[in-house]
Amino acid sequence: MKRPLVHPASDVNDPELQKLIEFYNETLGFCPNSIKTMFHRPQIAYAFIALNKAVMQNDGSVTSSLKRMIAYMCSHAAGCRYCQAHAIRAAERYGASADQLEQIWEFENSSAFTEKEKAAMSFALHSSTVPNSVDDRVAERLRKHWTEGEIVEILGVISLFGFLNRWNDSVGTEIEEGAADSGETLLSNSGWSAGKHQYKRD
């Protein structure tokens, strides 16, 4: 793409937009362009943030870092490089170990992940393929380690990022400097690049 389908809202005098920017400055270190794009219809941005808070809240064993690694698996399967960089950055900020970050795509054979984590990440991968490939084997493996409430939490992350993957790859959301830095630092060994999400400046 030569330019994003829709540009981020940029009204610095809008107090509601500034609230969104402040919220994300705390969680990511910057406000994602995806949120600013949604803000062209503010109710979409508000509804998304409410869902994001509900999904990413840590209510038990599905840790904050695991949720972000699940988000990465979904985004990798969907091919959204923008969301891959955001998810891996958030995983690092929320406590994923260096070994986990380095070995995330080889999680099945890595000692950096527990069997519980592997079951969740496998489910994320199978849930994010098109067509969906969750079957009895995948489901039974997940049930062995997680309660129904925890499975709902995991599926919430998968579904949230299904929305984000579609949004950002369709818009061609321009990647922010911080996210690009995380992608290059943490994912370059697996072939990551900003791709369609980085634009040349005239």
Mean pLDDT of the chain: 92
CA pair distance 162, 200, nearest whole angstrom: 28
CA pair distance 18, 31, nearest whole angstrom: 10
User: Which residue's structure tokens are 């399967």?
Assistant: 77
Q: Give the lowest-confidence range in 4-8, 96-100, 173-177, 186-190.
A: 186-190
Angle at 51 between CA 87 and CA 157, to 5 degrees: 40
CA pair distance 141, 126, nearest whole angstrom: 12
Find all residues with CB under 8 Å of 106, minimum gap 6, and list them. none
Q: Is the pLDDT of residue 52 over 70?
A: yes
List, for residues 120-177, the tens digit of each pLDDT value.
Answer: 999 999 999 999 999 999 999 999 999 999 999 999 999 999 999 999 999 999 999 9
List, for residues 32-51, the tens digit of each pLDDT value.
Answer: 999 999 999 989 998 998 99
Q: Is the pLDDT of residue 12 over 70?
A: no
Specify the pLDDT at position 202: 56
- In the chain, the domains with their CATH numbers are 61-193 (1.20.1290.10)
Exposed, middle or buried, 42 (CB in 10 Å: 0-12/13-18/19+)?
A: middle
DSSP 155-192: HHHHHHHHHHHHHHHHHTPPPPHHHHHHHHHHHGGGT-
